[in-house]
């Protein structure tokens, strides 16, 4: 099993590995920087060396680690200044991941801001393809969306159409978020429905392209487009569905990363224990 969660880099980036080990993770995700702003401090060489050293001795496979893009970039935007800043951030993040030895960078697909799917996808593909031509060993993972207004990439058919346009193909993969899939209309509540949903994903996108699963239960009901993650087994997907996803991920050797809330109900430790129990 490769199961873990998003961990903090507070203090210094190498602390992320300590936080992952403390939570008994065998996979983890980080932000390489403050996710709420455009500015990023350069990674300090001693911190990078310490991160790589700790990861090497942690027992966690490097290919079960990923970073996530910050929140502000939007490659589907029609605004050229916003597009340029977003593309620069994406390229910078791939370079930061390469420095750290992190093989995957997860990115949201963005909003077309009312200009329509076709225009948004055209901008998105332009930006992703430009970033993909940068020479490094980092794969950019497209994350399916929850289907919010003006977003692209919530249904597998459209996600597959976007993915098929990206060149060079070996620079791109997919991260599937279970909460996003469920609230955009893909039923994951039973073992049978999980098998059907992943068969549809395989038909449209290809299971060979699925590199990471974001394992989150959903606060909202099927097809509601509400992007609210919830504790495993306590949301609208429920224990049977979450269990089926974890078992499928284990069979396919796809790392599972939780992005569940931390509150009075549960913390990371409890949700990771639950994921392992359901496996």
Catalytic residues: 36, 68, 71, 108, 143, 177, 180, 214, 227, 229, 259
Q: Cα dist. 13→48, 67, 80 in Å?
A: 7, 12, 32
Q: Return the sign of the alpha-carbon dihedral for residues 50, 56, 62, 64.
A: negative
Per DSSP bridges, beta strands 217-218 and 229-230 are: antiparallel
What are 261's two structure tokens? Answer: 């809330």
Taking alpha carbons only, the member of 138, 124, 126 closest to residue 93 is: 138
CA atoms within 13 A on the CB side of 115: 15
Task: List 28's β-bridge partners, or say none.
Answer: 5, 65
């Amino acid at each position: 099993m490769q199961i873990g969660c998003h961990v903090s880099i507070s203090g210094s980036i190498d602390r992320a590995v300590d936080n992952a080990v403390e939570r008994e993770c065998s996979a983890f995700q980080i932000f390489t920087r403050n996710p709420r702003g455009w500015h990023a401090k350069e990674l300090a060489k001693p911190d990078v060396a310490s991160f790589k050293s700790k990861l090497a001795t942690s027992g966690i496979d490097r290919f079960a680690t990923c970073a996530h893009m910050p929140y502000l970039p939007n490659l589907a935007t029609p605004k050229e200044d916003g597009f340029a800043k977003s593309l620069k951030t994406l390229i910078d993040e791939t370079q930061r991941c390469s420095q750290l030895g992190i093989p995957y960078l997860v990115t949201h697909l963005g909003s077309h801001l009312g200009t329509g799917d076709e225009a948004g996808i055209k901008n998105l593909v332009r930006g992703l393809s430009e970033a993909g031509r940068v020479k490094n060993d980092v794969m950019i993972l497209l994350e399916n969306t929850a289907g919010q207004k003006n977003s692209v990439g919530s249904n597998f058919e459209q996600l597959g159409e976007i993915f098929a346009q990206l060149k060079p193909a070996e620079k791109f993969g997919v991260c599937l978020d279970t909460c996003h899939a469920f609230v955009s209309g893909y039923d994951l509540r039973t073992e049978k429905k999980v098998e059907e949903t992943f068969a549809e994903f395989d038909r449209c996108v290809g299971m060979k392209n699925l590199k990471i699963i974001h394992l989150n239960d959903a606060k909202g009901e099927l097809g509601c487009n509400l992007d609210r993650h919830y504790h495993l087994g306590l949301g609208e997907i429920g224990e049977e569905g979450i269990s089926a996803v974890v078992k499928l991920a284990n069979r396919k050797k796809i790392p599972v990363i939780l992005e569940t809330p931390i509150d009075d109900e549960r913390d990371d430790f409890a949700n990771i224990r639950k994921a392992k129990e359901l496996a």
